[in-house]
Structure 1
Amino acid sequence: MTVLLGASNAPSATNGNGQAKIERDPLLEASYSSITPEELDFVRQQTGIQNDVALREHILHVQAEAFVVHPYPCIRRFAFIKMKLSPRIPAYNQLLKLGREREDAILLDIGCCFGNDVRKAVADGFPVHNVVATDIHPEFWDFGHKLFGTTQETFPARFFAGDVLTPAHLDLVPPFASPPTTPRPELSTLASLNPLRGHVSAIHISAVFHLFSEEVQVQLAHKLGGLLSPEPGSIIFGLQSGRAEKGFRVEAGVPNSHGKQMFCHSSESWTELWESVFPPGTIRVDADVRELDRDDLKPVAEGAKFWVLTWCVTRL
């Protein structure tokens, strides 16, 4: 196993709570100040840890453990705590409305990482028994239980690991023009996303599309289109790296997960992509690209810029 930034594979001792003590590298802790008070409050509410020092130690301990298993930049930057699902994005209120008003509305979170976003939705009222989460790494869900102090019994959202680009996990079908003839699956029995096709009221997918080439992003969009319920008001939404103009993110020279240049959409090209997935007149696409300050990019390249694409596709 490759370990970056000096993280240790083996615990050297135990802390006062009997947890394995991981040797932490100060570089891992450097981004802790980027966690907002709102995000810390959410972890505090979920865990019941009120002492600021104890809360910080708890978060850093889980981060260090996770980084040993998967030394990803998102772990280093505490992305597993950053709130992508929040009232700050327009689609969030629509999501909660679906949870309140649509019987058995399913929320699917793709690339869920530690599950912080679905936990936020559940805390704000979305029924936990109607939540499905998936990620390519099953360990992430376990770290979520450790971070938030839960178990499968106390937070019974359905999770299973898989790669959405493989047919075994999600095969490609056209968007549904009418309700599927197959019954809504029992979520507790799911082992892939395929039984959900045409049944999902809300699909959240953030920080995933920009990991892939333009061609794979098109393929992924078409796959998600086949999952979405045809019922008006159903949504696919999220946020990701974007650009003022469609193209490769060359400003900071940051590669995607495959070591290649990151391909990013503009609001116009993103709208065109989704309009190619669904039949004309069946969806509305809202997409907004805004520049965002990223202190972590400043050491990478002088004048580095970063844009966030916030978007929602709504069935009409």
Structure 2
Amino acid sequence: MSPLPLDDSLYKEEDMGFIKQETGIYDPDALKDHVLRIQKKAYALHGFPCIRGFRFARTVISQLPAYQQALKVGKERDGAIFLDLGCCCGTDIRKIASDGYPVRNLLASDILKAFWNIGHELFMSTPTSFPVVFLPGDALNPAFLEPSTPFVTPSEIKDLPPPMASLSSLAPLRGHVSVIHISAFFHLFTEEQQHHFARCLAGLLSPLPGSLIFGRHIGHSNAGLKWSLRTGMDDQKMFCHSPESWVELWEGVFPKGSINVEVELKEAPTDAGQMRDWLVWSVSRI
């Protein structure tokens, strides 16, 4: 199915405050021209709804309830690795860097490095001025990301994390990642694949108390196959978790009693403009 055409009316200047701050482009017309130019380049690369709806250019991470906990871990725990999986152009990881998470501990990952490069254009930065490590890879490729049993205690970890710049996959980070952010990701996959990803992320997460995975994605009050992400057509249904099934999923992949899952259902528009229920959630090691 061909992507929908771009629609400039979806652009909202009030959503571009972080872009203004980071680029210094405060003239409304110049800012809009800049964002639209980058949008066209990104949409030509792949017609994702998040590009068409300008999600790639606005921050969502700081609106999540677990954001302050994530920042606290980054500021107080030495060497606390933060992974933004499915980072697209990197707007959210730039936000947490701006708010004080040490840049040296940040790791961004997505399937296409071209989007990360477009992020440098969007924010008028370079790998030198914003030296966050980007690791390209397909999360469905077991050579890049595979399920592993979560560690129960820190004493089980026998090795130090390798330098992030040396990574070619996420496997060496098992048990070493303090914070994982993953938004608008799970609903793109089948129920079985979502369970697979939960097992993968559980294995990466540090067993230290306060380590967390958090994000948001489309959900439903009743778990099951629901609407399409883009059109709502019955022939393109996605699997949506409910708050109850989401808790059950995570409690099934971590050792019993080792995590606290917080989740709520909130109505908000998708990147395609439809109103949907979103799961806003966090999984924290106790």
TM-score strictly above 0.5: yes
Match of 2:27 in 1: 51
User: How far off is 1:5 after superposition?
Assistant: 5.4
Alignment of 1:1-316 (within 5 A): 4=3, 27-33=6-12, 37=14, 39-86=15-62, 88-179=63-154, 180-250=157-227, 254=231, 260-293=236-269, 297=273, 305-316=275-286
| Structure 1 alignment gaps of length 5 or more | 7-26, 299-304
**1:107–1:201 contact (8 Å) kept in structure 2:** yes
Which structure has more relative contact order (CA 8 Å, sep 6+)? It is 2
**Structure 1 pair 296/5, CA: closer, same or farther in 2 (3 Å)?**
closer
Q: Among the aligned pairs, what percent are the same residue?
A: 46
| Structure 2 alignment gaps of length 5 or more | none
TM-score by length of 1: 0.85
**1:84–1:239 contact (8 Å) kept in structure 2:** no
CA distance in 2, matches of 1:161, 1:57: 29
Give the 4+ runs in structure 1 shifted more than 4 A: 2-6, 293-298
Specify which structure has the higher proportion of helix. Answer: 2
**Structure 1 pair 274/4, CA: closer, same or farther in 2 (3 Å)?**
closer
When the two structures are aligned, how many residues end up with a matched partner? 283
User: How far off is 1:30 after superposition?
Assistant: 2.6
The one-letter amino acid of 1:250's match is W
User: Bigger radius of gyration, 1 or 2?
Assistant: 1
**Cα RMSD (Å):** 2.1
**Structure 1 pair 152/293, CA: closer, same or farther in 2 (3 Å)?**
closer
**Structure 1 pair 195/246, CA: closer, same or farther in 2 (3 Å)?**
same
Match of 1:24 in 2: none
CA distance in 1, matches of 2:112, 2:268: 28
**2:175–2:203 contact (8 Å) kept in structure 1:** yes
For 1:84-103, what per-residue CA distance to the aligned partner results, in whole angstroms no more than 9, with x for missing partners?
211x3211000110111000
The one-letter amino acid of 2:205's match is L
For 1:34-87, what per-residue CA distance to the aligned partner results, in whole angstroms no more than 9, with x for missing partners?
x6x2x311101111112111010000000001111112221111110232211x
TM-score by length of 2: 0.93
SS of 2:176's partner is coil
User: How far off is 1:295 after superposition?
Assistant: 9.5
CA distance in 2, matches of 1:90, 1:297: 23
SS of 1:134's partner is strand
CA distance in 2, matches of 1:220, 1:288: 20
SS of 1:289's partner is strand
For 1:161-204, what per-residue CA distance to the aligned partner results, in whole angstroms no more than 9, with x for missing partners?
10112111112210011232121211121121111110000000
CA distance in 1, matches of 2:163, 2:146: 19
